[in-house]
Structure 1
Amino acid sequence: MKIIDELNKDAEKNASQIRTFIEEKVKDFKKKGIVVGVSGGIDSAVILALAVQAVGKENVYGLILPETESASSSKELGARLCESLDVSYEEVPITPILQALDIYGKKDQIIKRTCLEYDPNIHKTSLVLPSLLENDMLTIPSISLVKDDEMVAKNRLKAKDYLELIGIQNVKQRSRMLIQYLYAEKNNYLVCGTTNKTEYLLGQFVKYGDGGVDIEPLSDCYKTQVYALADVLGIDKEIIERPPSADTWSSYTSDEDFFWRMPIHIMDQLLYSQEHDLPMEIIEENTELSEETINKAKRGIDKIKSASKYITSGPPICYLDK
């Protein structure tokens, strides 16, 4: 059994079902169309293409929402995608919102406490975590300083500073969602999410940020399956080959370095094997990892899932006795 083949075998069928889902939800909610936050990444590219096929290009609106620390390629690829699909779009920078909340200043203060040599005028920054394939117990995050595309320093973060940094960074996703709903509500459109199954299972989205949407068409597609959809849809190769990232750090940080902490083809095979309760010999054969390494990774994944339960479930409701 080849797990990757199992994941990729139904790309055409998946595309058809997602198109139908989008079309039906627009009708069910009595909306006129779809708003998509276009990031220059593969998930939003696939959603934009499927939305155009589902409800027509005239009923889809793209929003490119950059900020000071976004990679310039993000808006360039996003704009190119919208133009190739003949979709109306607009660039709305969220930098003024972040500046009003002093997000960049607060972030710099934390990094300076951790990295005494940090100079925001010459250094770019990224946040990384140790690989789950090497040590499932070690989860201490580190700040990396990058100068001229080379890492020049790496310092461990204190727990308090890490939590504050995550809160600061998540304001970026929540600001983007404010803009998307502004445009969706004035046009009577749905806000369409781009979270895939890998991200959903791991809680890899921001509550009331990129997770605060009206519909999630990709939430039953592993990231690997999104790549298969991109091939079927003829998505720009530059977008397909671009390392996936939340793009919220000044030094472009791959999801493999922070969220997944392993190559995506390994993560998806491990998640798929958990879902289908596959025997260890099948997992070893497919991932080419040892049983010890697989067990380390699985323990790490279980910890991530447990820690993100509050994100992946709705807010608890207090039911009163009647």
Structure 2
Amino acid sequence: MEAAEGKNVQILEELNRDIEYLALNLRKFIRKQVTGFKKRGVVIGVSGGIDSAVALTLCVQELGKENVYCLLLPEDESSPSSAILGAEICESLGVPYEEVSISPILRSLNIYDKKEQIIKRTCPDYDPDIHKTSLVLPDFLTHGLLNVPYIQLVKDGVPSGKYRLKANDYLELIGLQNVKQRSRMLVQYMYAEKLNYAVCGTTNKTELLLGQFVKYGDGGSDFEPLADCYKVQVYALGRLLNVNEDILKRPPSADTWNHFTTDEEFYWRMPLQILDQLLYAQEHQLPMEVIEKNTGLSSDTIEKTWRHIKRIRDSTEYVRAVPPVCHIGR
């Protein structure tokens, strides 16, 4: 996408223009990939979120509902609304789907027990009978570069305590949580290979730039139709494609905690529209005065945000990287 030139650039308008043309190109891309891989159709994991809803709708429009197979892949800590919304969009499009719980895989690896041990030693007041939990980070626009992860206890829908995680416990917790996305992709490939289908990914550009996906999990697909679309563009596509209003209104989330935790609370640390405008401005090297005008942020805050984004990208470089090969020159 080419940015308009001059000081009157409206970033959100730039991101949301030519959405019909974008949808057409995405559909062509989907067909090209499936045909190129010599596959009969696509398998897609449907989460009840906007990314999978848009990817699914585009696949159905281009390939036909008879060449798309959907999987709902809940686990014990998933929000019940995820499977409900996922089933609703599959049924509205007439696409065959199946619900396959990944909880047995997680229990076989003691993921839930290991996670609870970390929570118990971090949160002395934790009672699994009354508390739900989430992992949160401080809001960037309020707390700046301070990046300390906390376990938050929630009782009856109300936060009742927040406890700082030790570094080692945080790393172990992330490793345990990431098994969920990897288990989901394992199931998707099992079905895809049985059907001779390709696995359609649902990662968007915002996630790709920040490394906000799990290597060999949700990042392990055969092709990624949305990976050059910022998240706000995915929402614009959703409106164009008449995606269920409940999905359009649902906050983005990895949905791996029993208290629904949004991407803004844990990963982005700022509102999506601010983040996408900053990423777009950085990509197109827009002048500082244009960025200030569009985001409402001061130049000092914007500079701090650039440092924050750079730190995220540096720390997730290995997630985006293809495994290096040692070329021996023979």
1:48-197 correspondence to structure 2 within 5 Å: 48-197=56-205
Q: 1:223 aligns with which of 193, 217, 231?
A: 231
Partner deviation per Cα, 1:7-30 (whole Å, 9 max, x = no partner): 000211110001001011111110
Partner deviation per Cα, 1:217-276 (whole Å, 9 max, x = no partner): 000000000000001100000000001100000000000011111000000000000000
Q: 1:245 aligns with which of 253, 258, 269?
A: 253
Per-residue deviation, 1:131: 2.0
Per-residue deviation, 1:293: 1.3
Q: Which amino acid aligns with 1:191?
A: V
Q: Are residue 282 (structure 1) and residue 290 (structure 2) matched?
A: yes
Structure 1: gaps spanning 5 or more residues: none
How many residue pairs get aligned? The number is: 322
CA contact (8 A) 1:132 1:296 kept: no
CA distance in 1, matches of 2:308, 2:146: 9
CA RMSD of aligned residues (A): 0.8
Q: Which amino acid aligns with 1:42?
A: I
CA contact (8 A) 1:273 1:283 kept: yes
CA contact (8 A) 1:136 1:299 kept: no
Corresponding residue number in structure 2 for 1:204: 212
Partner deviation per Cα, 1:271-301 (whole Å, 9 max, x = no partner): 0000000011100100011111111111101
Partner deviation per Cα, 1:188-237 (whole Å, 9 max, x = no partner): 00000000000000000000000000000000000000000001100000
Q: Which amino acid aligns with 1:295?
A: E
CA distance in 2, matches of 1:139, 1:319: 39
Per-residue deviation, 1:56: 0.4
Q: Which amino acid aligns with 1:160?
A: N
CA contact (8 A) 1:193 1:211 kept: yes
Q: What secondary structure does 1:93 align onto?
A: coil
Corresponding residue number in structure 2 for 1:235: 243
CA distance in 2, matches of 1:271, 1:105: 38
Corresponding residue number in structure 1 for 2:5: none
Q: 1:305 aligns with which of 302, 306, 313?
A: 313
Segment of structure 1 superposing worse, 125-134 or 199-208: 125-134
Q: What secondary structure does 1:259 align onto?
A: helix
Q: TM-score, normalized by length of structure 2?
A: 0.96
Corresponding residue number in structure 2 for 1:14: 22
Alignment CA distance shift 1:185-1:269 (3 Å): same
Q: What secondary structure does 1:152 align onto?
A: strand
Q: What secondary structure does 2:42 align onto?
A: strand
Per-residue deviation, 1:321: 4.0
Corresponding residue number in structure 1 for 2:4: none
Q: Which amino acid aligns with 1:83?
A: E
Q: What secondary structure does 2:134 align onto?
A: strand
Q: Which amino acid aligns with 1:153?
A: G
Per-residue deviation, 1:137: 2.7
Q: Which amino acid aligns with 1:130?
A: P
% identical aligned pairs: 63
Corresponding residue number in structure 1 for 2:270: 262
CA contact (8 A) 1:125 1:146 kept: yes
Corresponding residue number in structure 1 for 2:36: 28
Q: What secondary structure does 1:215 align onto?
A: coil
Q: What secondary structure does 1:133 align onto?
A: helix
Structure 2: gaps spanning 5 or more residues: 1-8
4+ residue segments displaced more than 3 Å: none
